Structure 1
Amino acid sequence: FFFLLITKGLPSSRAAEVLARDGPNALTPPKSTPEIIKFLKQMVGGFSILLWIGAILCWIAFGIQYLHHDAGAFNNLYLGVVLALVVVLTGCLLIIKKLKRALVLRDAEKKDISAEELVVGDIVEIKGGDRIPADIRIITSQGCKVDNSSLTGESEPQSRSCEYTHENPLETKNIAFYSTTCLEGTATGMVINTGDNTIIGRIASLASGVGNEKTPIAIEIEHFVHIVAAVAISIGVVFFIISVSMKYTVMKAIIFLIGIIVANVPEGLLATVTVALSLTAKRMAKKNCLVKNLEAVETLGSTSVICSDKTGTLTQNRMTVAHLWFDNEIFSADTSENQTTQTFDQTSGTWTALSRIVALCNRAEFRPGQDSEPIMKRIVVGDASETALLKFSEVVMGNIMDIRKRNRKVTEIPFNSTNKFQLSIHETEDPNDKRFLLVMKGAPERILEKCSTIMINGKEEPLDAERKEAFQTAYMALGGMGERVLGFCHLYLPEEEFPDTYPFDTDSMNFPTSNLCFVGLLSMIDPPRSTVPDAVIKCRSAGIKVIMVTGDHPITAKAIAKSVGIISANSETVEDIAQRLKIPVEQVNRSDARAAVVNGMELKDMTSEQLDDILRNHSEIVFARTSPQQKLIIVEGCQRQDAVVAVTGDGVNDSPALKKADIGIAMGIAGSDAAKNAADMVLLDDNFASIVTGVEEGRLIFDNLKKTIAYTLTKNIAELCPFLIYIMASIPLPIGTITILFIDLGTDIIPSVSLAYEKAESDIMKRKPRHKKKDRLVNQELVTYSYLQIGLLQTIGAFLTYFTVYAQQGWLPHTLLHIRTSWEDPFINDLEDSYGQEWTFDQRQILEYHGYTAFFVSITIEQVADLIIRKTRRNSIFQQGNKVIWVGIFSQIGIAAILCYGLGSVYALNFGCVCVCVCVYEREGGREGGGEREREREISWGCIIRTRTPTLLCSCSNNIFALSTAQLGSHWQGGSERRGTLLHSSFASP
């Protein structure tokens, strides 16, 4: 059966059964809400539920009014439809998913299927460059090597074969793991685990188990929604009760309630916030920050602590050999191709031995076809450390591949984090020496442990205490310069014990790994990125604490931290103070040290209180020799200090920390798929400076959101007061609910979005991070400014326009008080204005729409002024340009003009199309009380102006007065003081 399985693969029917049993070969995503549920939540969450209630009440009111043949019934129908459309359009989402594929053998045929369809028992083929699609047991292999670094952290390629070599699945050679990469060779294997049952699936489940807290901006928006909803409902209910107590019908009271809710809820705000976040995310993508979660944009701006990796993030991940130590002396390395400044004696026997170890105990290779390229610019297959060693060797010694051919490799043990060394055994090029040469490199302390002698000037000498002290001094000196140090040793194997046919076995290690000869040290530097020191300074001025978390030696980590400014030049650690005062470390008061370097071994034994004490009392912290699991502990410790934590990570094991952090940042170049999936943001260039750019953008979006919300809330008072005055003073309604929606969703949308294009003000990176519990998006200052200061001014201006329009038509303010009942009665067609002129219901209705229009235009113009006011907080508007805001202003005015003059005749929109009619009247002579009556009235759109001239100018609204369409010479009769003959009439749009 097994033979048939590996030659023909699973039958499709069996594969379908297993797929149904085990589910798809995909990691279960972190607990997330289905998209349809998200959509439905959007439909009934926050402002949406208020709008739905308003829409339903509108439809109920329409039904009742329609049955009673109420002329205004359709207004409620239109309003309900608009409110429903607002909710639905806000909740629409678009999702695109991409799937991976795998080459599988089924039914004796090779098939290219989706990786999700793989099942246990499938036979899969992999080749160099492929991602391993599941956990597979290797059946056949031809030079297959895999990169397990994303899973285990091991940078060395691991060979894979069908041999069972270890009980631990992570150590055995016959298993390749899901999501790792095949670097070279080919292999065929049987799927043994899929989806969540894979090794990476089990690790990822830990990440998914970590709480997914709400982002700060989500909390702020929810807080804002609660405030607005509470205000809207409270005011609505209060005035509903007042309306009923003032003998209004329940239907009228419900209509008031709807108007108050609509006036209070900024319907377009959440859409504006989403657009603003999207615009910022696009800007950040251009700056190499890919935002996966829109709300993460603002979270980054709230960050108070950044836990950053060292390699590749703070440094360039471009190792270069910097120093060597042999013959008890430290030398600088010259990597230039002309080799004119090499500081050491290349004729030394120790150098000859050391250079041979460096060349042979190295698995890196140049890609072919680069002979014409400078050595330091050639592309290398291998990790960063071995690449640096290979290039250095090539520069100093010449063609390394020839050296390796002349010293054929017999066997090797790749580097791993458990052994912390790499070993290989070679034949030597000396035809007179048949001995095998064992060479080894690795962590200096581990290499020294395996040695009993040391080479000095080409001769072996005992490794006594004095030699060990010299080694330790050199090691600390090189590490103190921020360099990664490797130790090198060798041993010639006795020919009689190890003849040329000897079967070396790396599993049983049937060769010596002790009593070796220590040859020297070689250190490499991974230069800090040039942009990092300035970025760290920016963080410090912005009140952000930068913590380095690395697996390097504490001495090396401290040196790098000082070189990039994470530890200031004048800052001391406890160890520094002890050394300066020449006292034991235990006697130093830890609170006197501004900086701290914490070893992972110490962190392992710390309690939460001890860690909290370090995080609280030290402003400059480095965690060295840490594991990915300890990174999670550090993040949790920072969050216990009420910090908003951003953390970087690249490996699978970093996923829990990335998930736990307020914002997880994965590396785009070196990051694993699991890390990227767990993160909220991906750095496309793996550069720390990009994080600081993101912080600035995050702060900018918070500032711009405050400006947008203040701008949006300002008009709420001007929209709310008409309903309150309408109820309390019984005047004709100044503005309708549909007209309010045209402000919220029409004229105000583009100006609101334009504020998202505002640039950062000068002090944005000089302010401390906002406190997530104290510095709210909507605070008392913003509410006072929007509602009481600017809001009241807008209300006064809008009512002034409203009363002016009515006064121009003959309705002075005192006449409008307590007239609402008669005004809205469709059966009263002889209602007199302040001058005794009679108005029909249709004429009053048209005038009311003109009042709506005037109120609408007034708020629109006032919002233009508010937009300019809100543009900057401190800088002059002339210093801070924003071309988009002019688009907002012109669109605002343009939309208002279209609604008033282009669509003003559409009944459902409740706008009045205003025209100017100029009429000239001849005064009728006469006397009153024995004297000539000299008081005449010039009517300009209904406004009566007393004058002594013998003519009367009438500027009125079309279709309201009969005189506006009267012929020349017609007689106009109003009151006793309003008689005259129309001599001329003309109309024009204003």
Structure 2
Amino acid sequence: MIEQTERVDVGLRRGAMPLAMAERERSAHHGLPVHEVVPLVGTDVTTGLTGEVAARRLAELGPNALPEQRGPGWVRRLLAQFHNPLIYVLLGAAALTSALGEVVDASVVLAVVLVNALVGYLQEARAEKALDALVAMVRTEATVVRDGVATRIASDELVPGDVVVLEEGDQVPADLRVVAVRELRVDESALTGESQPVAKDPLPVPHDAVLADRTSMAYSGTLVTSGGGRGVVVGTGGDTEIGRVHRLVGSTRTVQTPLTRKLARFSMLLTWVILGLAVLSAVVGVLRGEPVAGMVTAAVALAVGAIPEGLPAAVTVTLAIGVSRMARRNAIIRRLPAVETLGSTTVICTDKTGTLTANAMTVRWVVADGVRHEVTGVGYTPTGPIHPEVGSAARECLLAGTACNDADVVERDGAWIAVGDPTEAALVVAARKAGLSTADVPARVDELAFTSQRRFMATRHTGGVVYLKGAVERIAEFTGDTDHTTADELAARGLRVLALAKAHLPEDTELTEEALRGHARPLGLVAMHDPPRPEAQAAVRACRDAGIEVRMITGDHRATARAIAAHFDLPDDAVHARVSPEEKLRLVEGLQADGHVVAMTGDGVNDAPALRRADIGVAMGRGGTEVAKQAADMVLTDDDFTTIRAAVEEGRAVFDNLRKFIIWTLPTNMAEGLVILTAILLGTALPILPVQVLWINMTTAVALGLTLAFEPREPDVMHRPPLPPSLPLLTGALLHRILLVSAVLLAGSFAAFHLADGTVDQARTLAVNVFVTAQIAYLFNCRSLHNLRPRVGLRANPWLPAGIALTAALQLLFTYAPFMNTLFHTAPIGWKDWALAAAIATVAYAVVEAEKWWRRNHAHRT
């Protein structure tokens, strides 16, 4: 029978619940005594609602389900993918190319645009599943008392005023005001971040108590770990705490990634530069007396040449390769831009439970007969030696922990999990490490169950032996032991300390507190905690060495949080404890307002809003809720902070490779535009034609440029500070290099065009091959943007020589195949022309290496 701690006979018609109760009353149930809450919701704690009243309330208030919050329709979401300056540039390129009569090339550019839009749309659609996951969390069954009879109903049929019966293993189906308990303990970690199950009590708590301290409430979506009880429904659907989180997730807007912001600014700038040069060339040509139609064609050619058509494809491919590499390191990326965002991260806000810690209570020390035994191993896996080896005193202490216990550990799918209270499961694991099992425990014949008031548990076994387990000061009342020095020392280190004792009672003596008082002898102490992951400690140090600030944000107690933070050398101002979902969200927004790129980790429902708002949301794949996974940008399949460090490393490598591609491709585009502009200004024939420009851009971008996406990360990638979010995509130094290489290509192609012997078609063919051979040489420069030579060998990227071979084959086809000569207005050239192209390419390579050398020496001097 459930212990009925409060019973109220309601003297009003039970259907007359004030449905328009004030918001203050809605949120005040935890601070009101039961006899005030019951009439407020119009019910009876013994017989519950009548079926008629429940039906009327269900019709008026709606089902106990979270309301759907849908964003824009699929058409608007798809069209939104085109709202980007870079896409506008590409659409303009397609239109201009089509105007030149090159329908095939225009189709290729449009295909690139559509593929990018489709990928973005699909990734965004997946994020909408976060709300669906929240809805699914409340689709359970519940035992409810109606018309005085307990019955099972679907949880979405619950209404305020229903009396719900809770038993071990149940998921709480709605927000309940607890009215009766029988050792009721609830795991609220998914909602509050509290690492320990919370003992529930009908007594009211202060009105200003934070969510994790409202012991008089049981919240929807949490899990009963032990005991049982009754609660009156005071909130359903959107009026529950999980409903509040649902609204936060739905209303939280995501932010642009650093890469998308930088690409948008870069694309806008590039658009205006291209348009300005095109207009300038057309105006100058017309003023020189050239025909208007011819100048428009030339301006179109300049614009087509200056547009980097391969950039979106390169971005997508580079990010996709990063996704693949991260998957091999246990990080699943849900949104492509998140790959690069990791590389730009300046602050990691990490959850404590399950991310930095193992989320599994573990006995760390056993103190018996004056000897401290260190228990090794982490979590519920019952392996790990004990140092020094346990003697008879420690063995009896661990036997008491197993006997005075209702929990167990079992292996499922290769992983050990706790069945029952995590604290008791930790005692079972410690005993098994010492070679003990339940078979060593005498049969239990009676017990005094643990309650929040009693604060200890006692079990009676055959032969009259009684084992006690509980708070140190409570067990001392039965043993007379007043020396708590060791216990205080262990507790000061953030450990939870339990005392164990043993007594003998005659079989005809009732098991009571009074019977035990003064008749028990102490066996020892056990100290436990949710241990930090050893590998996470190294990962936090690595992140800090890389210039990334690490902050702990948790719903757990401040003392517990600080004890864990000490293992990671985190200062007090980097620890945020007892944090609500709204406060987590505000912390993330505050850091972003200060210019930080924020990565937020979490596994619970309470983390979902902050995960969605952060620049990069990181959810736990094993222990995380489905809500957190769907709200995040990245999911860790091993729930390990070390994987975040690995993902940051890969993210930085991805950003490096993107910059390498951009630095490699822009000089060609700029030089192509400048060649046409210079020819117009000088009044000479165009050294390259628009169709030849498209050939260069589309073939080399794929065959050469994309090979940079496969470049391995450079060894020093985690020894650099993160790039400031405000830093543009192209720094001043890199812009100078682009201008330098553009000038070399401009001079080289013009010289080749005018020095070539033969027809105009042959001269233009040579000019095109100068561009391509110089791009091959410059590709080697770009394998490292700062070092004189890359720190990884050519074998590390087999795609690069393959790409060069493919480009060479295409250029031979372009130069000598008759059908290509007809399509692209080319003509065969001789070996002297090839020698000239190779010489210009060698000069281009040497100039860039010299510029690198000068900058390195200049940097050392300054």
State the TM-score, normalized to the length of structure 1: 0.62
Q: 1:330 to 1:223 in 2, by over 3 A?
A: farther
The C-alpha deviation readout for 1:760-817, integer Å capped at 9, x for no partner, is: 223222212211113x22122222211x211121222222333345x413x7xxxxxx
Q: Give the letter for the 2:496 counterpart.
A: V
Structure 1 residue 542 displacement after superposition = 1.9
Cα pair 1:357 1:488 within 8 Å, conserved: no
The C-alpha deviation readout for 1:125-175, integer Å capped at 9, x for no partner, is: 99999988988999xxxx999854312445667999xx9999999989998
Aligned residues: 747
Cα pair 1:904 1:912 within 8 Å, conserved: no
| 2:706 pairs with 1:753 | yes
> 386, 390, 393: which one pairs with 1:346?
393
Task: Map 1:657-696 to 2 at 5 A.
Answer: 657-696=610-649
> 462, 469, 480: which one pairs with 1:460?
480
Cα pair 2:186 2:218 within 8 Å, conserved: no
Task: Map 1:535-554 to 2 at 5 A.
Answer: 535-549=539-553
Structure 1 residue 560 displacement after superposition = 5.1
C-alpha distance in 2 between matches for 1:88 and 1:323:
61
| 2:475 pairs with 1:475 | no
Cα pair 2:93 2:307 within 8 Å, conserved: no
The C-alpha deviation readout for 1:920-979, integer Å capped at 9, x for no partner, is: xxxxxxxxxxxxxxxxxxx999xxxxxxxxxxxxxxxxxxxxxxxxxxxxxxxxxxxxxx
| 2:851 pairs with 1:911 | no
The C-alpha deviation readout for 1:252-285, integer Å capped at 9, x for no partner, is: 4433332222222211102211210111011011
Cross-structure match for 2:780: 868
Q: Give the letter for the 1:782 counterpart.
A: L
| 2:828 pairs with 1:789 | no
Cα pair 1:134 1:195 within 8 Å, conserved: yes
C-alpha distance in 2 between matches for 1:912 and 1:678:
54
C-alpha distance in 2 between matches for 1:306 and 1:486:
32
Q: 1:870 to 1:56 in 2, by over 3 A?
A: closer
Q: Give the letter for the 1:484 counterpart.
A: L
C-alpha distance in 1 between matches for 2:384 and 2:687:
84
Q: 1:757 to 1:196 in 2, by over 3 A?
A: farther
Q: 1:710 to 1:688 in 2, by over 3 A?
A: same
C-alpha distance in 2 between matches for 1:28 and 1:192:
23
| 2:843 pairs with 1:892 | no
| 2:797 pairs with 1:882 | yes
Task: Map 1:26-37 to 2 at 5 A.
Answer: 28=69, 34-37=73-76
Cross-structure match for 1:390: 428
C-alpha distance in 2 between matches for 1:51 and 1:902:
30
| SS of aligned partner of 2:775 | helix
Structure 1 residue 711 displacement after superposition = 0.7
Task: Map 1:712-731 to 2 at 5 A.
Answer: 712-731=665-684
Cα pair 2:343 2:648 within 8 Å, conserved: yes
Cross-structure match for 2:88: 49
Q: 1:763 to 1:48 in 2, by over 3 A?
A: same
> 643, 649, 653: which one pairs with 2:606?
653
Task: Map 1:249-260 to 2 at 5 A.
Answer: 249-260=291-302
C-alpha distance in 2 between matches for 1:233 and 1:276:
28
Worse overlay, 536-545 or 484-493? 484-493
Cα pair 1:79 1:737 within 8 Å, conserved: no
Q: 1:158 to 1:772 in 2, by over 3 A?
A: closer
| SS of aligned partner of 1:323 | strand
C-alpha distance in 1 between matches for 2:172 and 2:809:
59
Cross-structure match for 2:401: 358
Cα pair 2:712 2:792 within 8 Å, conserved: no
> 396, 410, 413: which one pairs with 1:367?
410
C-alpha distance in 2 between matches for 1:117 and 1:158:
23
Cα pair 1:159 1:173 within 8 Å, conserved: no
Q: Give the letter for the 1:386 counterpart.
A: E
| 2:287 pairs with 1:245 | yes
> 220, 235, 247: which one pairs with 1:177?
220
C-alpha distance in 2 between matches for 1:538 and 1:56:
49
| SS of aligned partner of 1:856 | helix
C-alpha distance in 2 between matches for 1:784 and 1:158:
62
Structure 1 residue 202 displacement after superposition = 1.3
| SS of aligned partner of 1:669 | coil
Cα pair 1:136 1:175 within 8 Å, conserved: yes
Q: 1:432 to 1:283 in 2, by over 3 A?
A: closer
Task: Map 1:735-814 to 2 at 5 A.
Answer: 735-774=688-727, 776-786=728-738, 788-805=739-756, 807-809=757-759
Q: 1:521 to 1:136 in 2, by over 3 A?
A: closer
Structure 1 residue 623 displacement after superposition = 5.1
C-alpha distance in 1 between matches for 2:525 and 2:68:
44
Q: 1:266 to 1:129 in 2, by over 3 A?
A: farther
Cross-structure match for 2:78: 39
State the TM-score, normalized to the length of structure 2: 0.71
Cα pair 2:619 2:628 within 8 Å, conserved: yes
Cα pair 1:150 1:652 within 8 Å, conserved: yes
Cross-structure match for 1:278: 320
Structure 2, unaligned runs of 5 or more: 1-14, 16-46, 143-153, 377-382, 835-862
C-alpha distance in 2 between matches for 1:378 and 1:635:
35
C-alpha distance in 2 between matches for 1:757 and 1:422:
64
Structure 1 residue 895 displacement after superposition = 3.2
Cross-structure match for 1:307: 349
Task: Map 1:185-584 to 2 at 5 A.
Answer: 196=238, 198-317=240-359, 319-325=361-367, 329=370, 331-333=372-374, 341-342=388-389, 346=393, 358-359=401-402, 362-367=405-410, 380-382=418-420, 384-394=422-432, 398-400=436-438, 403=441, 405-409=443-447, 411-413=449-451, 423=455, 428-429=460-461, 440-441=470-471, 448=473, 453-454=476-477, 459-460=479-480, 467=483, 470=485, 474-477=487-490, 479-480=492-493, 484-488=495-499, 521-524=525-528, 528-549=532-553, 561=565, 563=567, 566-567=568-569
Structure 1, unaligned runs of 5 or more: 63-73, 106-115, 414-418, 442-446, 505-510, 568-594, 599-613, 615-620, 812-846, 919-938, 942-990
Structure 1 residue 689 displacement after superposition = 1.6
Structure 1 residue 245 displacement after superposition = 3.0
| 2:87 pairs with 1:87 | no
Worse overlay, 226-235 or 336-345? 336-345
Cross-structure match for 2:842: none
Structure 1 residue 223 displacement after superposition = 1.9
C-alpha distance in 1 between matches for 2:812 and 2:669:
22
Q: 1:728 to 1:906 in 2, by over 3 A?
A: same
Cα pair 2:501 2:524 within 8 Å, conserved: no
| SS of aligned partner of 1:524 | strand
C-alpha distance in 2 between matches for 1:640 and 1:87:
32
C-alpha distance in 2 between matches for 1:287 and 1:144:
41
| SS of aligned partner of 1:547 | strand
Cα pair 1:427 1:437 within 8 Å, conserved: yes
Q: 1:772 to 1:172 in 2, by over 3 A?
A: closer
Q: 1:750 to 1:38 in 2, by over 3 A?
A: farther
The C-alpha deviation readout for 1:171-197, integer Å capped at 9, x for no partner, is: 89998734x56889999x999988655
Q: 1:693 to 1:877 in 2, by over 3 A?
A: closer
Q: 1:275 to 1:896 in 2, by over 3 A?
A: same
| SS of aligned partner of 1:749 | helix
The C-alpha deviation readout for 1:313-338, integer Å capped at 9, x for no partner, is: 334455542324578x5622568899
C-alpha distance in 1 between matches for 2:223 and 2:633:
24
C-alpha distance in 2 between matches for 1:763 and 1:337:
37
Cα pair 1:334 1:341 within 8 Å, conserved: no
The C-alpha deviation readout for 1:102-139, integer Å capped at 9, x for no partner, is: 7999xxxxxxxxxx997878x9999999988988999x
**RMSD across aligned C-alpha pairs, in angstroms?**
5.6
C-alpha distance in 2 between matches for 1:780 and 1:212:
30
